């Protein structure tokens, strides 16, 4: 349902781009889904999803895919890339930190059950 809402025209949905990345043997390593918008300070991209196939994880392919995405987005005149990552996803946070992404917001929550 979420995909149908966000991509009402499937792969042809305006301003949404889904890229498949392949390794040097032409095997799929994963995909990245971005949405590009026009903002007052120029074009901006929001990464909706990054998926690296399980057999390619922890081998640097995620970084390579994101660096390739940056090249593509620069050619599209995008000035800023944003994304959301869950705080418990330490591996992804490490990758984004190493690529120069900066933390811009914090979402915080507190459980209200009897154990805390």
Query: How many percent of the chain have pLDDT more than 90?
Result: 62
Domain that holds residue 76: 2-98
The answer, yes or no, to whether residue 58 has pLDDT greater than 60, is: yes
Residue 103 lies in a domain: no
Q: Is residue 110, in this structure, part of any structural domain at all?
A: no
> Could you tell me if residue 30 is inside a domain?
yes
Are 32 and 65 within 8 A, CB to CB? yes
Q: Could you tell me which residues are beta bridge partners of residue 36?
A: 45
The pLDDT of 72-87, averaged and rounded, is 94
Q: Is residue 78 part of a domain?
A: yes
Is residue 106 in some structural domain?
A: no
Side-chain-facing half-sphere of 40: CA atoms under 13 Å:
0
- Report pTM: 0.85
β-pairing, 42-52 vs 78-83, is parallel
Q: How many domains does the chain have?
A: 1
Residue 6: its pLDDT value, please? Answer: 87
| pLDDT in the model for residue 100 | 94
Q: Is the pLDDT of residue 115 over 70?
A: no
41 falls within a domain: yes
């Amino acid at each position: 349902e979420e995909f149908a809402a966000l991509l009402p025209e499937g792969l042809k949905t305006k301003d949404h781009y889904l890229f498949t990345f392949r390794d040097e043997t032409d095997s799929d390593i994963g995909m990245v889904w971005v949405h590009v918008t026009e903002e007052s300070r120029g074009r901006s991209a929001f990464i909706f999803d990054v998926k690296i196939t399980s057999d390619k994880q922890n081998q640097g392919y995620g970084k390579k895919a994101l660096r390739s995405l940056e090249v593509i987005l620069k050619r599209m005149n995008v000035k800023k890339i944003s994304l959301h990552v869950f705080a418990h996803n330490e591996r992804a946070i490490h990758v984004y930190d190493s690529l120069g992404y900066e933390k811009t917001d914090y979402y915080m929550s507190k459980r209200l059950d009897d154990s805390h």
